[in-house]
Structure 1
């Protein structure tokens, strides 16, 4: 296999995707010519209020969830957590951020944005929420993020206004449904036959990539 294709599913509000970004950066640095990372979005936090009510009602609600997330972030030395995050002006949904990121992907694929614009924007959205405590379900905030990393707002608004971004996000959700993706982050390898879900260490990700790169043609994967 000349190049490993990895489909990477995340939710923009997922703390595990936030702390795992450093692993994705390491992966791209170490396998620049051997691995292709295809970022996709699906909604763990499509309805934040319902998510917290359903999963955390018996455990202390939003305040308890916020403490849980803060403890995860503080366990890692490379990311930060803002006092307003999951506390003040809480996002209603991750879907606006996903639509925004799909709009950037459309502009990137058409050549209007430079390669890797989507990855830069995804990290900027996560930092805006977790590190700076901003409500990334607000359109105004998302467009300010675009401006802060030098992306023309008009192209993003065009992709959303024409429905191109909605079609791209719809495609992501369809792939997630077909592959039974239920957790963020999830990495799919080998045309969906291998997957890694949740807080997976870099060496485990690396081992899966190397196994796919090094196996003999036609040989079944042992991962």
Structure 2
């Protein structure tokens, strides 16, 4: 079976990243049996300058997009897209725009338990923020998510209370920017091919098949 590795650069408060994850999951399901796909989640921060406690979500977003009307239009479009991909966006429930540095630290630590656990934590963070309106910058919320994903709560609590991996996460984000990543999601396949944005399931499926085919051809040659 062919093996393809994907590094997904994303932020857990990016709705397009949530859509991208849902579509990638479906694309991986489409090639199951033919291609074994390993997914690693890499950090990015859309709002790195937000304070640790976060800010009022509605005011922050209206200022960022220019008006409440623009926010409403974006949310209406995203809600419709989410329904197609099995995501129940509930933007009215979101009260806080958090600083996501600690969420990314949690995602990093989850990888020590394997890619499946990391993907589980990432999915729970997306759902908590966009469907349940929970503050994913809050340590209590992060601890509950870690516990639900099967991580050791006491260990994660001690790590969150420290500065562990803050610099490493920030350096990884800067590395992504240095590679030309200016928006997310960004799917980096086999460290060679980049697919930008929340592409359709069909585009992602074709990308996986095409890259696996190219690998087969190069091995034959």
For Structure 1 versus Structure 2, the TM-score category normalised by the shorter chain is 0.7 to 0.9
Q: Does 1:166 align with 2:166?
A: yes
State which of 62, 69, 81 in structure 1 corresponds to 2:89.
Answer: 81
Q: Supply the distance in 2 between the matched residues of 1:24 and 1:191 (Cα, whole angstroms).
A: 17
Q: Which residue of 1 aligns with 2:211?
A: 212
Q: Supply the distance in 2 between the matched residues of 1:75 and 1:41 (Cα, whole angstroms).
A: 24
Q: Supply the distance in 2 between the matched residues of 1:26 and 1:166 (Cα, whole angstroms).
A: 32
Q: Which residue of 2 aligns with 1:95?
A: 101
Residues 125-145 of structure 1, C-alpha deviation per residue, up to 9 Å, x if partnerless? 110111111111111111122
For the Cα contact (< 8 Å) 1:12–1:125, is it kept in 2?
A: yes
Q: Which residue of 2 aligns with 1:112?
A: none
**Cα gap change, 1:163/1:92 in structure 2, threshold over 3 Å: closer, same or farther?**
closer
For the Cα contact (< 8 Å) 1:45–1:51, is it kept in 2?
A: no
Q: Supply the distance in 2 between the matched residues of 1:190 and 1:164 (Cα, whole angstroms).
A: 28
Gaps of at least 5 residues in structure 1 are: 110-114
Q: Supply the distance in 1 between the matched residues of 2:47 and 2:89 (Cα, whole angstroms).
A: 18
TM-score, structure 2 as length reference: 0.78
Q: Supply the distance in 1 between the matched residues of 2:12 and 2:134 (Cα, whole angstroms).
A: 13
The structure whose RCO (Cα within 8 Å, separation 6+) is larger is 2
Q: Does 1:60 align with 2:67?
A: yes
For the Cα contact (< 8 Å) 1:12–1:94, is it kept in 2?
A: yes
Q: Supply the distance in 1 between the matched residues of 2:129 and 2:179 (Cα, whole angstroms).
A: 28
- What is the CA-CA distance between 1:103 and the residue it aligns to? 2.3
**Cα gap change, 1:158/1:200 in structure 2, threshold over 3 Å: closer, same or farther?**
same
Q: Supply the distance in 2 between the matched residues of 1:191 and 1:68 (Cα, whole angstroms).
A: 32
Q: Supply the distance in 1 between the matched residues of 2:72 and 2:137 (Cα, whole angstroms).
A: 17
The more displaced of 167-176 and 47-56 is 47-56
Residues 27-68 of structure 1, C-alpha deviation per residue, up to 9 Å, x if partnerless? 333246533222111111323569747632xx315x743652
Provide runs of 4+ in structure 1 moved above 6 Å: none
What root-mean-square deviation, in Å, do the aligned CA atoms of Structure 1 and Structure 2 show? 2.9
Output aligned runs, 1:80-159, within 5 Å.
Answer: 80-82=88-90, 84-86=92-94, 88=95, 90-105=96-111, 107-108=112-113, 116-159=116-159
- What is the CA-CA distance between 1:85 and the residue it aligns to? 3.5
Q: Supply the distance in 2 between the matched residues of 1:41 and 1:47 (Cα, whole angstroms).
A: 15
